[in-house]
A and B are shown apart, each in its own frame.
Chain A
Amino acid sequence: MTGPGYSAGEMMTVTAAQALREARTCFVGIGLPSEAANLARATHTPGLVLIYESGTIGARPGRLPLSIGDGILAQTADTVVSVPEIFNYWLQPGRIDVGFLGAAQIDRFGNINTTVIGTDYAEPKVRLPGAGGAPEIAASCREVIVIVRQTRRTFVERVDFVTSVGFGDGPGSRQRLGLAGAGPQKVITDLGVLEPDPQTCELMLTAAYPGVSVPDISEQTGWALRVAPDLRELPPPCPAELAVLRGLRATLPDTDGAAGQGAAS
């Protein structure tokens, strides 16, 4: 699944960074979201304001932070505020353009699970870290971008637990629940990009990466994936972006485990 000279994961991060071109402010989770947001700031969107739930507003880390409380975030921020303040004054009123989330499971309506795998909460198959800041990021940011690797286990018909609401049960759900933001507008995977159908709110395939076929992507989707009539094939990442991304990744220590789930760490 790799094109010449770059990995599917690099293509995913570069695509996610590109999605931030119009954003001014971004609420960033650790892991893949942080990598993409820092790539955007280091390349095409230098003015992007990075906001981490640890209370650091306008952080300019010169390397990738290992956690949302990494000292580099506080030392380079415009201001550091308390945790109640970051959620109540900055996130809740809808001041932040883009919320950038990961997921352990995501369903056809863009709902996210980072709580438990298995439908019995009391006896989970896998206990995940939980909500962190994600439910209110998903509710209150003007829009949400999700970055997640695409597999049948991850892309499910219905999430086992709704940690963060995308489009709920479909059209009208967000309005009924009083969720002010527009919800997930892009789901960026290691195969392509899904976006909600404006009428049905169902995630559909709108772009595929070079060399990745629609059947490849459908195979990794746990529902009957619809394909946009104007499906695009995205260009491969440019060498300059790749070089910056690899430079950022080189600043991280090696870990065996996956990066933190969701927005929270």
Chain B
Amino acid sequence: MAEIVSLADAIARSVHDGDTVAMEGFTHLIPHAAGHEVIRQGRRELTLVRMTPDVIYDQMIGAGCARKLVFSWGGNPGVGSLHRFRDAIEHSWPVPLELEEHSHAGMANRYVAGASGLPFAVLRGYRGTGLDGRAANTVTNISDIACPFTGETLTAVAALRPDVTVIHAQRADREGNVQLWGITGVQKEAVLAAARSVVTVEEIVDALDPRPGAVVLPAWAVGYVAVAPGGAHPSYALDYTARDNDFYIAWDAISRDRARFGRWLDEHVYAGAVR
């Protein structure tokens, strides 16, 4: 049953050194405030899982939280490269980063398998690509599988089962039932696939009135709920906050230089201000 606690408590109780952590949100509702809290609490050796490790994981990788990244697209959307991510891969700074690389369809299906309690999912994917497990150094969690009915060769991907999934949502009620809408990405699957979960929300309300296309996660399927207004910034929460496009553009210069990145972390994360 969901417990409503502070963000610091939610992260302290859920995220431990060495954990496999999925922080999801497909360009919308990205749980940045929670990511900053993980950095502040000094977590290390995490396996970070995320379809689109954009600015949030660039920050966590640059801060030294990650040992491994499982992902399908790593860039600053509409802007360019992730410089902390590239520095970790190309120069092992601040620590080496192991990669496990997939396609979006593969990652989405891996979460579906995890949420479904199945060991793997089946899709038409990866075939002929360098990601398909036959190319050197990229093999992992992808395999051919024969359809038992037709014999056709398809692709199997192993289930993702994070120790903890962290998402941001528009709101929850006082019981801890969570409601999110707009682009809802893969968050339902990521929460249901995980052993533990943390949901940050814009606000807690008395009642969740229906919204078109909303996803509701019942309180009994959620671990911790924490209020973090504006907690998706520079991403956004539809009907609450706007995407800070200028920040994504500014991040390119902030993250390009190790020292400047360090000063940014001191000022905006370690100093305690969420934004």
Residues of chain B within 8 A of A45, CB atoms compared: none
Docked Cα-Cα span, A30 to B76, in Å, equals 12
With an 8 A cutoff between CB atoms, is A70 at the interface? yes
Secondary structure of the B contact surface, majority rule: loop
With an 8 A cutoff between CB atoms, is B209 at the interface? no
- Contact residue among A127, A132, A254, A255 (Cβ-Cβ distance under 8 Å from B104): A132
Q: Which of A74-96 contact B (CB under 8 A)?
A: 74-75, 79-80, 82-84, 87-88, 91-92
- Contact residue among A163, A168, A179, A265 (Cβ-Cβ distance under 8 Å from B131): A163
With an 8 A cutoff between CB atoms, is B108 at the interface? yes
With an 8 A cutoff between CB atoms, is B40 at the interface? no
The 0/1 profile, CB within 8 Å of B marked 1, for residues 7-40 of chain A is 0000000000000000000000011000000000
Q: Which of A244-265 contact B (CB under 8 A)?
A: 253-262, 264-265
B75 engages A129 (CB within 8 Å): yes
Total A-B residue pairs with C-beta atoms closer than 8 Å? 208
Q: How large is the interface on B (under 10, 10 to 19, 20 to 34, 35 or more residues)?
A: 35 or more
Secondary structure of the A contact surface, majority rule: loop
> Shortest beta-carbon distance, A162 to chain B, in Å?
5
List the A residue with the shortest CB-CB distance to B124. Answer: A92
A179 engages B128 (CB within 8 Å): yes
With an 8 A cutoff between CB atoms, is A124 at the interface? yes
A136 engages B103 (CB within 8 Å): yes
Docked Cα-Cα span, A264 to B86, in Å, equals 18
> Shortest beta-carbon distance, A61 to chain B, in Å?
13
The 0/1 profile, CB within 8 Å of A marked 1, for residues 60-76 of chain B is 00000000000111111
Q: Which of A168-188 contact B (CB under 8 A)?
A: 168, 173-174, 177-180
Q: Which of A128-144 contact B (CB under 8 A)?
A: 129-136, 139-140
B246 engages A92 (CB within 8 Å): no
Docked Cα-Cα span, A264 to B184, in Å, equals 17
- Contact residue among A69, A121, A180, A256 (Cβ-Cβ distance under 8 Å from B137): A121
With an 8 A cutoff between CB atoms, is A196 at the interface? no
With an 8 A cutoff between CB atoms, is B14 at the interface? no
- Contact residue among B26, B101, B184 (Cβ-Cβ distance under 8 Å from A115): B101
B78 engages A265 (CB within 8 Å): yes
Residues of chain A within 8 A of B78, CB atoms compared: 30-31, 66-67, 255, 259-260, 265
With an 8 A cutoff between CB atoms, is B130 at the interface? yes
Residues of chain B within 8 A of A53, CB atoms compared: 104
Residues of chain A within 8 A of B248, CB atoms compared: 66-67
- Contact residue among A162, A178, A256 (Cβ-Cβ distance under 8 Å from B129): A162
> Shortest beta-carbon distance, B260 to chain A, in Å?
15
Residues of chain A within 8 A of B57, CB atoms compared: none
**Complex A-B, nearest 7 residue pairs according to Cβ-Cβ distance, in ascending order:** A69-B27, A257-B80, A129-B75, A67-B77, A132-B73, A265-B77, A165-B128
